[in-house]
Amino acid sequence: MDENNGKHIQIISKIESQTAIKNIEEIIRASDGIMIARGDLGLEIPYYDVPYYQKRIIRLARMQGKEVIVATQMLDSMENSPIPTRAEVTDVYYAVELGADATMLSGESASGKYPVEAVKVMSNIVKRAEKEYFTELFYEKQIEKVANDQSSRMLISYEVASILQSGEYKYAIVLSHSGKLLKEIAKYRPNAYIIGVVSDDKLVW
């Protein structure tokens, strides 16, 4: 893509097979983001392993500062019902608690009877979960990594995140030519909004 002026194009890798699981760390490194397609993945591996791999993939993606989306059958019952099951509500909440950047609807909004309601329900659960979201444990785990990686971007992102973590500031305006510094700061999940200023409008999304 670089040869065809596509350097700005972001790649989201869909994880849906045993092969992807076996090569997950390499895939995350080569991708800009990850989507965990739990429905297809559940056909490839035992159903009771899906939550484990969901947690592991989210953790690995966050450690590398990559976006991660949790998808498929999150509010499945809402294809035919205006009210989700308690298990579905817990599932969405748990995805946020693990640190997912996004939760995704599929059939619920594409072909279900209650698409608007499904979006509202998903939004309400995510907003509620984000209020309780606590990042100190992950934040502290980054200290050792920063100590071993003395790159300027890593050090700057850590210092910015440290300042924002206090909750004293609501916003951080970050200048970033490539957008990479924004991702580095965001992976710490600081307690503030991060506003990115980039020089290339192709990076705006």
- Give the CATH number, domain containing residue 145: 3.40.1380.20
Residue 22 has pLDDT above 80, yes or no: yes
127 and 167, same domain (yes or no): no
Q: Which residues contact 54 (CB under 8 A, 6 or more apart)?
A: 36, 38, 70, 95, 98
42 and 141, same domain (yes or no): no
113 and 52, same domain (yes or no): yes
Give the residue from 109, 132, 155 where a domain finishes.
Answer: 132
73 and 169, same domain (yes or no): no
Range of the domain at 125: 2-132
Mean pLDDT of 133-150: 55
> For residue 155, what pLDDT band results from cuts at 50, 70 and 90?
confident
54 and 141, same domain (yes or no): no
33 and 103, same domain (yes or no): yes
Give the residue from 69, 97, 132 where a domain finishes.
Answer: 132
Asked whether the beta carbons of 36 and 73 are under 8 A apart, the reply is no
Say how many domains are in the chain. Answer: 2
> For residue 29, what pLDDT band results from cuts at 50, 70 and 90?
very high
106 and 146, same domain (yes or no): no
* β-strand partners of 173: 195
Least confident of 49-53, 120-124, 139-143: 139-143
102 and 152, same domain (yes or no): no
Amino acid residing at 122 = M
14 and 113, same domain (yes or no): yes
Residue 198 has pLDDT above 90, yes or no: no
Give the residue from 97, 132, 167 where a domain finishes.
Answer: 132
Average pLDDT, the chain: 87
152 and 76, same domain (yes or no): no
62 and 149, same domain (yes or no): no
Residue 2 has pLDDT above 70, yes or no: no
Cα distances (angstroms) measured from residue 82 to each of 4, 12, 117, 120: 46, 31, 6, 11
72 and 101, same domain (yes or no): yes
